[in-house]
Amino acid sequence: MNASIIDSVPKNGVKDFMQISDTDQHCPEASSGNAPTSKELTIGQLARAAGVGVETIRYYQRRQLLPVPTVAAGFRTYPARLVERIHFIKRAQELGFTLDEIANLLLLEDSNDHAAIRDVAGERLQQVRAKLSDLHKMENMLSQLIHECESTSDHARCPIIQALADQH
């Protein structure tokens, strides 16, 4: 599953995402007062196309996960390919990667360092397995407490309440 996320970053690399060329910034239609071309989007259009809010785009820009384009013809336009980058970020977040880890993955992808990418993903996998182990322990404890509660008389203190009160 991790490979599909990493594979979803376009083959032209992270640097192409972070650098907006003059052709991406300049739009003849924009300079004549018309809307951006289909290759260029306003921040609202980019947000809608990626299924996120405008504030998410701005937050990703502050975190340097997305570029901040220069103003052209009175407004900023974004290359449509940034939709794929936002989808990558969201999918990685769904797998539990932090934004710092995602930034690292994007940098590593650009260098094509598969071993380092595997290391980052391997660390995330270890964290997921630790959480699963903790959740399994919680499941067993809650199951046991529910069973004890079912077999305790109504006049005795509930084992669930007792266990919660005894934990510090």
Residue with tokens 């046991």: 144
For residue 28, what is the enclosing H or E element? helix 28-31
Helices 114-150 & 99-111, crossing angle to 10 degrees?
A: 150
Residue 30 reports pLDDT greater than 60: no
Q: What is the pLDDT of residue 12?
A: 42
d(Cα 130, Cα 148) in Å, to the nearest integer?
27
Burial class of residue 135, CB neighbours in 10 A (0-12, 13-18, 19+): exposed
What is d(CA 20, CA 86) in angstroms, rounded to the nearest whole number? 16
Q: pLDDT tens for residues 93-146?
A: 999 899 999 999 988 887 888 899 999 999 999 999 999 999 999 999 999 999
Would the pTM of this model clear 0.85, i.e. be above it? no
Q: Where is mean pLDDT largest: 4-13, 79-88, 106-115?
A: 79-88
